[in-house]
Every structure is written in structure tokens, then in C-alpha cells.
Amino acid sequence: MENYGPHTYGELNADVYDEWHADLDPTDAVRCLAELIDEGPKGPVLELAVGTGRVTLPLAALGVDLRGIDASEAMVARLRAKPGGDRIPVAIGDMADVDPGTDELFAMVFVVFSTFFFLMTQEDQVRCFARVAERLLPGGRFVLECPMPDVGRYERNQRVAAHQVGLGHVRLTAVRHDPVEQRFEGQHVLITEKGIRLAPAFMRYAWPSELDLMARLAGLERRERWGGWRHEPFRAEGTHVTVYEKPKGPPS
């Protein structure tokens, strides 16, 4: 954990992020988010941890008025180098602060993949929910895609797995699990004939019930929880997509 901060993952992974996550098809996420945007109040949309624009760019291509936040200048540089990426306003900062650099209120705030868990303390996660609630319009939604923690994969709270094996390379992950702090401290390890590359990825996971409590503390209400972007039933495994809503308040 020494010297690991909000920017670390992006700064050390930006040049390989798209390659290592090429199998992540954003189509279903973009479709689902666009539907939720159409159903909600009118206003701009904010993505936390925009990264290299895997979801941001196709959503913007549909005409969504997007803003973004990311802690890593290297990741944002990759986004801006892609077609249309330079037209999306992105603030550099910690996503827990939910500070896009403007005073706007948003129809939706969303964070995809497992990125919410990159907030490394419960305090930061609770703060993020509270800041999101402050930034939402009445009836606005906070949408999270999160993996269901699978602690059963760990023997003696550690795990090593092979992800790619080729004639000239092997890519491994090595992870240690801290069940008290609910943290995974991991390294992607790429071994080639040229040497060894390390890419750390540390997370603080939260159970769905814990996320619901964070939302309640922030004044948000859970509207949906699916097992994926296609509205699959949630069966407490894999990934879940949860939609929280800011109450509209009493009629005027």
C-alpha cells in the first residue's frame, strides 16, 4: 500500500489498459445507460473514472452530454487521443470528491467495471456516495457496476492465476486478500523475454448490502439491482449493476 494513491493504477496501466481489457465489450453498458438517461431528468451526465473512454466515447457518440473525472492524466491522455475524446470535458482529480470543476447538477452519475472499488477506504466510498447525492438533480440516478466479492477463490487469503500463456510471454495475477479491511492487493505480472513488468491493482470491495447502506446514508434510494447490463436477475455472483435514485421530493 505504500505510495499507492488514486492515480497509481492509471499511471502504471494506461499504455496497456485497452490491450489487456480488449475483451470487455461496452455495447450492453452503453445501451442500458442510454435507456436510463432517457427515463430520467434532463441534464448532463458525469462518469467517474472515465479512463481511456471505453464507455464514455460510444455514449457520447449517441449525443449524451458528458463530463468526466479521472485521477490519472495518462489515462485521460489516451482518451483524448481517440476520435471524439478531445470534446469531452474531463477534470483530473480523486473521484471520491466528485468535483468536475463546475457547479452543474447531473441527471446521472455512473461508474463502471470494478472501478468504484478502487476507492481504498470505506470512508472514501461513503464520501463518494454523499458527494454524488449532492451533485444529482432530483430524480437523478447513481449507477454502479461492481463485481460480487468472491472470497472463496482465495486459499490462506492469497491467489495466483495465469491469464495468458504464449511462446514468448506469460501474464499472471498475484493477489493477497485482507478480509478485515476488505481489500485485494494485487499485481498483474507480465513476463517476457525482455524482462518483467508489474502493474499493481489494489481494491477495497464492498458487499451489496454495504453499498445500499452507503446510499441510504447519502439520502439515495435503491431503484434496481441486476446481474448485468441486460437486466439479468442478480444471483449473488459475477457482476451486478445497481441503480440508486435521488428522491424527487414532495410535489410543489
Using DSSP bridges, classify how beta strands 66-70 and 90-92 pair: parallel, antiparallel or unpaired: parallel
CA distance 131 to 137: 12
Instruction: Read off the pLDDT of each residue in 195-218 and give the average, rounded to a whole number.
Output: 94
pLDDT above 70 for 7: no
Q: State the cell numbers at 99.
A: 468535483
Q: What is the arrangement of strands in the sheet containing 183-192, beginning at the earlier edge strand?
A: 158-165, 169-178, 183-192, 195-204
Assessment of whether the complete model's pTM goes beyond 0.95: no
Binning pLDDT at 50, 70 and 90, where does residue 252 land?
very low
Instruction: Read off the pLDDT of each residue in 85-103 and give the average, rounded to a whole number.
Output: 95
Instruction: Read off the pLDDT of each residue in 81-106 and give the average, rounded to a whole number.
Output: 95
Give the model's pLDDT for residue 135.
98
| 34-42: long-range pairs with CB below 8 Å, 24+ | 34/59, 34/62, 34/64, 36/108, 36/141, 36/143, 36/243, 37/64, 37/107, 37/108, 40/107, 40/108, 40/139, 40/140, 40/141, 41/107, 41/137, 41/138, 41/139, 41/140, 42/107
**Residue 182 φ then ψ, to 5°:** 55, 50
Give the model's pLDDT for residue 8.
67
pLDDT above 80 for 2: no
CA distance 150 to 66: 33
- Per-residue pLDDT tens over the stretch 161-197: 998 898 888 989 999 999 999 999 998 888 998 899 8
Q: Which of 12-21, 46-55, 68-77, 187-196 has the lowest mean pLDDT?
A: 12-21
- Per-residue pLDDT tens over the stretch 124-164: 999 999 999 999 999 999 999 999 999 888 899 999 999 88
Give the model's pLDDT for residue 20.
67
Instruction: Read off the pLDDT of each residue in 90-118 and give the average, rounded to a whole number.
Output: 95
CA distance 5 to 50: 17
Give the model's pLDDT for residue 152.
86
Give the model's pLDDT for residue 154.
86
pLDDT above 80 for 18: no
pLDDT above 50 for 239: yes
Instruction: Read off the pLDDT of each residue in 23-36 and give the average, rounded to a whole number.
Output: 93
**122-135 and 208-217 helices cross at what angle (nearest 10)?**
50
